[in-house]
Amino acid sequence: MSEPAKIQIRPNGPILVSGNFVLLDANGNPVDVGGKETIALCRCGHTKTSPYCDGSHKQCGFQPNDFAQ
Ligand code: FES
């Protein structure tokens, strides 16, 4: 039995998703994540590989004003 999904918000960075998850696009269709067990979703809005984090949050100095900083 696989691990349940775990979602972790990284300080000033992406949202890590791991475990047994399905990523859906804006139309609700499953997205092929290439068999990855962990993905990092951008939350700064500066990635060039949306929806995935490409590290751009470091260059833009992303500092969210939310509970999960
Ligand atoms: S959170 Fe990493 S590029 Fe946006």
Going from the Cα of 4 to the center of ligand 1, the distance in angstroms, rounded, reads 24
CB contact set of 57 (below 8 Å; sequence gap of 6+) = 12, 13, 14, 42, 43, 44, 46, 47
pLDDT tens digits for range 8-63: 999 999 999 999 999 999 999 999 999 999 999 999 999 999 999 999 999 999 99
CATH fold group of domain 1-64? Ribosomal Protein L9; domain 1 (3.40.5)
Which pLDDT score, from 0 to 100, does residue 3 have?
82
Q: Closest Cα to residue 43, out of 9, 67, 19, 20? A: 9
What letter would DSSP give residue 55?
S
Nearest Cα residue to atom 2 of ligand 1: 53
Q: Which of 17, 46, 66 to mutate to test the pocket of ligand 1 (most atoms within 8 A of CB)?
A: 46
Q: How far apart are the first and last CA of the chain?
A: 32
User: Residue 1 pLDDT > 60, yes or no?
Assistant: no
pTM here is 0.88
* Residue ranges around ligand 1 (CB below 6 Å): 13-14, 42-44, 46-47, 53-57
Give how far Cα 32 sits from Cα of 9, 44, 56, Å. Answer: 22, 22, 23
